[in-house]
Amino acid sequence: MVVQFFTSWHIYATATAGVGALFLLQNALQAGSLVASQPMLTVGDALISISYGVTLYSEQLRTGWWLLPQLVALAAIIFGCVQIAKSPLAAETSGLVRESATTVL
């Protein structure tokens, strides 16, 4: 059972995806303020979770008339996140504390 675990490609693909996700997360957090990057990270987390459910666990998404309100809500959330990221309040850094790091010996 343990040998099958380490000889399966799934574990290596998951580890590679995790390292890639960590890399992208760090780039997103360093690109701007947390106020600007956090909303889109939240939307991305939900979309990735849905993608994992559909591809890995063969979950079925509701289609038909259920799909229209879901897509409208998703578009509204993404629009709101973009507006938050473009807000002057998100770019304001005057309220941040500026201190140099001290060295502990």
The helix (H) or strand (E) run that includes residue 90 is: helix 88-91
| Residues 100 and 58: beta-carbon distance below 8 Å | no
Give the pLDDT confidence of 70-81 residue by residue, as tens digits. 889 989 988 988
Q: Report the 10 Å Cβ neighbour count for 30.
A: 8
pLDDT of residue 98: 63
Give the pLDDT confidence of 31-69 residue by residue, as tens digits. 777 777 787 788 888 888 888 888 988 888 888 898 899
Question: Which residue in the block uniquely carries the two structure tokens 């309220």?
Answer: 95
Choose between 99 and 82: higher pLDDT. 82
Q: Where are the domains of the chain?
A: 1-31, 33-90
Percent of the chain with pLDDT over 90: 11
Tokens describing residue 38 = 């956090």
Tokens describing residue 35 = 């106020």
**pTM score, whole prediction:** 0.56
